[in-house]
Amino acid sequence: MAYGVDGCGPNFLPGIAVVVVIILLLIAMGIVF
């Protein structure tokens, strides 16, 4: 989170990580249920 303070460049990286985690959770839930 601290990297986003320097500029807009690294700010989108945590967002991509969150999206990937959510997609993986949805896939895992789809497999389990």
In one-letter notation, the amino acid at residue 2 is A
Q: How far is CA 20 from CA 25, 28, 31, in A?
A: 9, 12, 17
The reported pLDDT for the residue numbered 4 is: 46
Model confidence over 7-21: pLDDT tens digits?
Answer: 555 555 677 778 888
Domain definitions of the chain by residue range: 8-32
pTM over 0.85: no
Percent of the chain with pLDDT over 70: 55
Stretch among 1-5, 10-14, 16-20, 27-31 having the lowest mean pLDDT: 1-5
Task: Calculate the average pLDDT of the chain.
Answer: 72
